[in-house]
C-alpha cells in the first residue's frame, strides 16, 4: 500500500469496498451488499473495488451501476480469468500485482469498508487498518456487520486489546454497524483519533 495519500475526507467521494469473491451461503449477504452499493450511488459516492464480476464483488458493482453510480475496478491481469473482470465498469484498471491493486484502491478512496468475505477480504481490511494505526493514512475503516458475520472477529479484537497487543485507542479506528445507512453516516462523521501509536498518548 505504498504511496497512500494522507488526505482525510470526512465525507468521502469514493469508498473502497472489500468483499467476498463468493456469495456466501445466506442471501442476506448479497441483499445487504447491494443495499450498501445502492446507498453509495444514491449519495453520489463512487465505489472502488477489486474489479471482479464474481460473488459479492460483482453484486456490489452491478447494484451501484444500476443505481447510476460510478464504479472503479482494479484487477491484476493474472486474475482476469479467475475473477472474471467486470466488463461494464466506469473504469477498470489492470495492474500487475495484488500489491499494486491494494495501493491503487487505497489511493483512489477516502474510506475502506469490508463487507462479508473470506481471507482476501480480511487481508485487505487489516492492511488498511494497520496502516491507519501507524498514521500512514487517516481514512475511516469499517465493517458492514451483516447478520452478525463479524461478531466473532469484533470479540476477538477485544481479546487482543485485553491481552495488551492492540491499544484501546486503536479500537476507535475500526467502525462497524449492521445497517448500511448508519454505517455511511458514521463514515461521514469520522474524525481520525490523533495519538501516538507507541505511547498511546494524545499528540
Ligand atoms: P475473498 O474474500 O477471499 O473472496 O477475496 C476477495 C478479494 O480479495 C478477491 O478479489 C481476491 O483476489 C482478493 N485478494 C485475495 N488475497 C489478496 C491479497 N493477498 N492481496 C490483495 N487482494 C487479495
Give the residue from 30, 78, 32 showing the smallest Cα distance to 51.
78
| SS3 track for 70-126 | CEEEEEEHHHHHHHCECCCCCEEEEECCHHHHHHHHHHHCCEEEECCCCHHHHHHHH
Give the model's pLDDT for residue 184: 98
Give the model's pLDDT for residue 129: 97
Instruction: For residue 121, report the distance from its CA to the centre of ligand 1, in Å.
Output: 6
Give the model's pLDDT for residue 194: 79
pLDDT band at 162 (very low <50, low <70, confident <90, very high): very high
Q: Answer whether 124's CB lies under 8 Å from 102's CB.
A: yes
Residue 3 has pLDDT above 80, yes or no: no
Domain covering 14-188: architecture: 3-Layer(aba) Sandwich (3.40)
Domain boundaries of the chain, sorted by first residue: 14-188
Instruction: For residue 196, report the distance from its CA to the centre of ligand 1, in Å.
Output: 31
Q: Is 18 helix (H, G, I), strand (E, B) or coil?
A: strand
Residue 128's Cβ-side half-sphere holds a number of Cα atoms within 13 Å equal to 32
Which ligand 1 atom is the nearest neighbour of the CA of 75? Answer: 10
Residue 2 has pLDDT above 50, yes or no: no
Instruction: For residue 150, report the distance from its CA to the centre of ligand 1, in Å.
Output: 17
Instruction: For residue 122, report the distance from its CA to the centre of ligand 1, in Å.
Output: 8
Residue 134 has pLDDT above 80, yes or no: yes
Residue nearest to atom 2 of ligand 1 (CA): 118
Instruction: For residue 178, report the distance from its CA to the centre of ligand 1, in Å.
Output: 22
| Chain segment 36-78, per-residue pLDDT in tens | 999 999 999 999 999 999 999 999 999 999 999 999 999 999 9
**Rounded CA separation 128/80 (Å):** 24
Give the model's pLDDT for residue 193: 86
Give the residue from 150, 142, 145, 148 showing the smallest Cα distance to 185.
142
| CB of 54 closer than 6 angstroms to any ligand 1 atom | no
Instruction: For residue 203, report the distance from its CA to the centre of ligand 1, in Å.
Output: 35
Residue nearest to atom 7 of ligand 1 (CA): 120
**What are the cell numbers at 59?**
453484486
| Chain segment 166-185, per-residue pLDDT in tens | 999 999 999 999 999 999 99
Residue 7's Cβ-side half-sphere holds a number of Cα atoms within 13 Å equal to 11
Residue nearest to atom 21 of ligand 1 (CA): 98
Residue 5 has pLDDT above 90, yes or no: no
Mean of the per-residue pLDDT values of the chain: 93
Residue 197 has pLDDT above 70, yes or no: no
| CB of 79 closer than 6 angstroms to any ligand 1 atom | yes
Residue nearest to atom 16 of ligand 1 (CA): 120
Rounded to an integer, the average pLDDT of 124-136 is 96
Amino acid at each position: 500500500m505504498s504511496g497512500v495519500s494522507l488526505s482525510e475526507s470526512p465525507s468521502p467521494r469514493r469508498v473502497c469496498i472489500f468483499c467476498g469473491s463468493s456469495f456466501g451461503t445466506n442471501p442476506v449477504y448479497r441483499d445487504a451488499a447491494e443495499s450498501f452499493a445502492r446507498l453509495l450511488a444514491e449519495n453520489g459516492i463512487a465505489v472502488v473495488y477489486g474489479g471482479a464480476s464474481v460473488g459479492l464483488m460483482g453484486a456490489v458493482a452491478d447494484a451501484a451501476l444500476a443505481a447510476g453510480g460510478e464504479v472503479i475496478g482494479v484487477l491484476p491481469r493474472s486474475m482476469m480469468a479467475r475473477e472474471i473482470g467486470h466488463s461494464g465498469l466506469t473504469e477498470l484498471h489492470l495492474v500487475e500485482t495484488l500489491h499494486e491493486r491494494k495501493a491503487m484502491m487505497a489511493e483512489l478512496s477516502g474510506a475502506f469498508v469490508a463487507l462479508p468475505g473470506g481471507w482476501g477480504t480480511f487481508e485487505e481490511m487489516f492492511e488498511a487498518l494497520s496502516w491507519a494505526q501507524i498514521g500512514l493514512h487517516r481514512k475511516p475503516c469499517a465493517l458492514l456487520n451483516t447478520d452478525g458475520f463479524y461478531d466473532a472477529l469484533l470479540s476477538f479484537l477485544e481479546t487482543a486489546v485485553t491481552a495488551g497487543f492492540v491499544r484501546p485507542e486503536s479500537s476507535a479506528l475500526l467502525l462497524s454497524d449492521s445497517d448500511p445507512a448508519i454505517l455511511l453516516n458514521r463514515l461521514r462523521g469520522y474524525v481520525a483519533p490523533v495519538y501516538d501509536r507507541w505511547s498511546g498518548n494524545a499528540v
